Amino acid sequence: MRIAVLGGDGYCGWPTALYLSSRGHEVTIVDNFSRRLWDYELGAQTLTPIRPLPDRLRAWRKAGGRVISSFIGDITDYEFVGSMVREFEPEAIVHFAEQRSAPYSMIDRRHANFTQVNNVVGTLNVLFAIKEFQPDCHLVKLGTMGEYGTPNIDIEEGYIRIQHNGREDVLPFPKQPGSFYHLSKVHDTHNIHFCCKIWGLRATDLNQGVVYGTVTPETAHDETLVNRFDYDDVFGTALNRFCVQAALEHPITVYGKGGQTRGFLDIRDTVRCIELACLNPAARGEFRVFNQFTEQFSILQLARMVQTAAKRFGLHVTIDHIPDPRVEAEEHYYNAKTRNWSTWDCNRTCSQNRWSILW
């Protein structure tokens, strides 16, 4: 298939592009390098040095991979997105090209507004470009499990059947996002759903849990192909920070009680899920939603697993509970469903990868 990976220079996009390429698809990477820019803004860096995209793409060819082309530009610029779609004629667009850090979106008003405008306008442009130039193209949009928040009922996949006053309907699952970033994803979800309905577009929303891991078989071919490992307080996930703290024998810093529970999945499952979605497109007019994660853990469970793993390396690490800087429930019910996704028979491969980062 011809697949455009928007945000293909980033943490999830890069290994996805390589995996899809290794599977024989014709891949193009669309990126404006904003993720690299934010490193400069924040004075932070990935632990694994990331080479310029042309070097990465050359290394991929040298390692025997197919040619991956690239379109460098900003998807909030419609001329750019439109010309990319006209020229490349993608059968699927995998859309990672968003500002994806909740803490970044919460820095101040400027960052909040930037995140919402950037993500919403970028996605609207992609939708309009598909409608205008490639109406049969399947949009595979990365959502996040964080859109749901932590309701006191089971989290279904995108929709819920509600019985109320003797009537019933299947409606979008109510969302309670917990940051301006997560809000931007909910805005996207509503916009995409609407465009599928009125224009007959095909879209799959993949609400992935927190993605962990750095290495995939494809990025392991050559050092130049290495993926990001962010551990700063803005783009680093809790797990990545815990791992780095443990390696330094610094106490692991858990926000509050640590009962905050989320779904998690390995980056190698992320890339497989993306291909599965591409190979099984939504129908015209369908807005399909999948929740994707392999396990659910609380922050405290994560901290304890990292502590245990560190012990095997002879590292003695304590766990500190520091005041939670976020307004969130530190203890809550959490049971998210991922039924639809498992019917794609992805379970077998997923289970092999569980917690491979730690062992």
Catalytic residue from among 11, 104, 148, 181: 181
- What number of chain residues touch its own copies (CB under 8 A)? 44
* Minimum distance of its own copies from residue 85's CB (angstroms): 13
* Amino acid identity for residue 53 in this structure: L
Q: Least distance to its own copies from the beta carbon of 4, Å?
A: 19
Q: Which of 333, 339, 352, 356 binds its own copies (CB under 8 A)?
A: 333
Q: Decide if residue 112 touches its own copies (CB under 8 A).
A: yes
343 binds its own copies (CB under 8 A): no
Catalytic (active site) residue 144: yes
Q: Which of 175, 250, 257, 321 binds its own copies (CB under 8 A)?
A: 175
Report the nearest approach of its own copies to the CB of residue 234 (Å).
18
Closer residue to its own copies, CB minimum distance, 61 or 190: 190
Q: How far apart are CA 132 and CA 227, in angstroms?
A: 34
Pairwise CA distance, residues 243 & 28, whole Å: 33
Q: Which stretch binds its own copies (CB under 8 A): 42-50, 86-94, 173-181, 258-266?
A: 173-181
Q: Which of 12, 20, 186, 336 binds its own copies (CB under 8 A)?
A: 186
Report the distance separating Cα 177 and Cα 188, nearest Å.
12
181 counts as catalytic:
yes
Is residue 153 close enough to count as binding its own copies by CB under 8 A?
yes
CB of 229 to its own copies, least distance (A): 30
Single out the segment in contact with its own copies by CB under 8 A; choices: 42-50, 53-61, 146-154, 272-280.
146-154
**3-state helix/strand/coil string of the chain:** CEEEEECCCCCCHHHHHHHHHHCCCEEEEEECCHHHHHHHHHCCCCCCCCCCHHHHHHHHHHCCCCCCEEEECCCCCHHHHHHHHHHHCCCEEEECCCCCCHHHHCCCHHHHHHHHHHHHHHHHHHHHHHHHHCCCCEEEEEEEHHHCCCCCCCECCCEEEEEECCEEEEEECCCCCCCHHHHHHHHHHHHHHHHHHHHCCEEEEEEECEEECCCCCCHHHCHHHCCCCCCCCCCCCHHHHHHHHHHCCCCEEEECCCCCEEEEEEHHHHHHHHHHHHHCCCCCCCEEEEEECCEEEEHHHHHHHHHHHHHHCCCCCCEEEECCCCCCCCCCCCCECCHHHHCCCCHHHHHHCCCCCCC
Please report whether residue 201 would count as binding its own copies according to CB under 8 A.
no
Minimum separation from the CB atom of position 162 to its own copies (A)? 6
Q: Which x/- pattern, by CB under 8 A, does the window 281-320 give for its own copies?
A: ----------------------------------------
CA atoms within 13 Å, Cβ hemisphere of 15: 26
Task: Among 89, 136, 168, 320, indicate the residue that binds its own copies (CB under 8 A).
Answer: 168
The reply to whether 256 sits near its own copies by the rule CB under 8 A is no
Among positions 73, 172, 251, 259, the unique one binding its own copies when judged by CB under 8 A? 172
**Among residues 82, 3, 47, which one has the least CA distance to residue 245?**
47
Q: Given the complex with its own copies, which of 168 and 320 has the nearer CB atom?
A: 168
Pick the closer one to its own copies by CB: 162 or 322.
162
Q: How far apart are CA 242 and CA 251, in angstroms?
A: 9
Of the candidates 75, 92, 97, 124, which one interacts with its own copies according to CB under 8 A?
Answer: 124
CB-nearer residue toward its own copies: 191 or 301:
191
Which residues are designated catalytic? 144, 181, 185
Instruction: Summarize as ranges the residues that interact with its own copies (CB under 8 A).
Output: 78, 109, 112-113, 116-117, 120-121, 124-125, 128, 151-154, 156, 160, 162-165, 167-169, 171-180, 183, 186-187, 190-191, 194, 197-198, 327, 333
